Amino acid sequence: MTDQTAAIDASRRTEASSTVLQIAVLAGLAATGTLATNILLPSLPQMAASLKVTSAAVTSAITIFLAVFAVGQLAVGPISDRYGRRWPVLIGFGVFFAGSVWCALATDLTSLLIGRVIQAAGACATSVLSRAIARDMFSGAALARAMALIMIAMAAAPGFSPLLGGALDHTFGWRSEFVLVAAFAALGAIAYGAVFGETHHATRIPLDPLAIAKSYSGLIADRRFVVPAATVSLIMGGLFSMFSAAPRILIEAMHLTPIQLGLFFAGTVLIVFAAGMLATRLAPRYGLDRSIRGGLIAAATGSIAMLLVALYSPTLLSYLGALSVFLLGMGIVNPLGTAQALSPFGDKAGAASALVGFWQMMTAAIGVWLAATISHEALFALSMVLTGFSFAAVGLYTLRAKAGNAA
């Protein structure tokens, strides 16, 4: 009996270790796109000078990446539902690697943009399929925990990568940043190939335009998907708006140095990490609905505080305090809302994950644009975006709860 118990304990430890490794690899997949974008932020002026274009022109390398990244997910999801996850992920890493090398060798802006398109075409596969693979393997509270850890990786990449990018640029030049992300892709492909086999064992959905359109329209018409997915997208749109506005607020208005800005981005990761860990404890105890509502209330409270800061107390300490409350709510809503959106759709998790990713990136693009155009006062513009998006998310999720009670 003792030997049998010891064998069971050993088996459980091995299984737990394997699960941790799998989630770590999925987190790497999810971080690929944000790493490739935010690592460049400190180097945009140097890239512009090297390529003999303006700083405004070189920012198109960010814009075109996000656009291809968003739209590409809509194609990758159905492809993975038809042919499985393994080969699309490996091909995605290969395409991303090729695009990174192309960018590192670029001698003019046109060549750089071509490389960024190739990069984004590969990154969209790894990012969207990290969520689909998590849905293949986990359900319920386990899926929520997996999504929380994946979300932390997605936050860590934009949080730490500007600091890393600045150090690489200072030491080796901006091209070294593309060398790093190429190496990251190679290691990610090796790790994925070693850890995962094919995870999609549900019924394969035919790959034709009518079937794809039917799959997406079915998801959009299903309240179980559209409400949590749109809620998460609004909150994530606020996060990306914060990242885009941070240099204008902290460097131009509050006179922080670029290194201090990098430390600020890194500090946001700690808050998101704590929120993700909190989310994994809240969901089993209070359920997804109550936990998500609590996160939304926190995000809305932080947004209102940010608006008050912009109007009455625009200091660094008050800004950080308001932002911390918003990030706490975002870190709870994102993984739990994503898990809630994907859970009922195991047979088409690829398409569901793709649509979530598409909405997130498009909402992020809208939020970034609004934060740059609403007002010349960056802090006020950001506070308006955060408040509008947060309250829209609260209202949308409240309608879901009312509809559920009516049913």
- Contact by Cβ (8 Å): 380, 311: yes
> 94-119: b or e for each residue (b if 16 or more CB lie within 10 Å)?
ebbbbbbbbbbebeebeebbebbbbb
Which single residue is written with the structure tokens 């090796």? 190
pLDDT at residue 406 greater than cutoff 50: no
Pick the more confident residue, 370 or 234: 234
Instruction: Give the rounded percent of residues in the chain with a pLDDT score beyond 90.
Output: 33
**Per-residue confidence at 155, pLDDT binned at 50, 70, 90?**
low
CA distance 153 to 147: 10
CA atoms within 13 A on the CB side of 146: 27
Q: How confident is the model at residue 311 (pLDDT cuts 50, 70, 90)?
A: very high
**CATH number of this structure's domain 18-196+207-406, picked from the four choices 1.20.1260.10, 1.20.1250.20, 1.10.274.10, 3.40.50.10860:** 1.20.1250.20
* Helix 44-51 and helix 109-137, axial crossing angle in degrees, nearest 10: 140
DSSP 138: -
pLDDT band at 156 (very low <50, low <70, confident <90, very high): low
CB atoms within 10 A of CB 402: 10
Q: What's the mean pLDDT in 234-251?
A: 83
> In degrees rounded to 5, what are phi and psi of residue 352?
-65, -45
Would you say the pTM of this structure is higher than 0.85?
A: no
CA atoms within 13 A on the CB side of 106: 31
C-alpha angle with apex 232: 209 to 290, nearest 5 degrees? Answer: 125
Confidence check: pLDDT of 3 > 90: no
Q: Taking a C-beta distance cutoff of 8 angstroms, is the pair 244, 368 a contact?
A: yes
Distance CA 344, CA 340 (A): 8
pLDDT-above-70 percentage for the chain: 89
Where are the extended beta strands (E) located within 288-334?
none
**Burial class (CB within 10 angstroms; exposed 0-12, middle 13-18, buried 19+) of 396:** middle
In the chain, where are the structural domains located? 18-196+207-406
Alpha-carbon span 123 to 112, nearest angstrom: 16
Cα–Cα distance for residue pair 207/185, rounded to 1 Å: 27
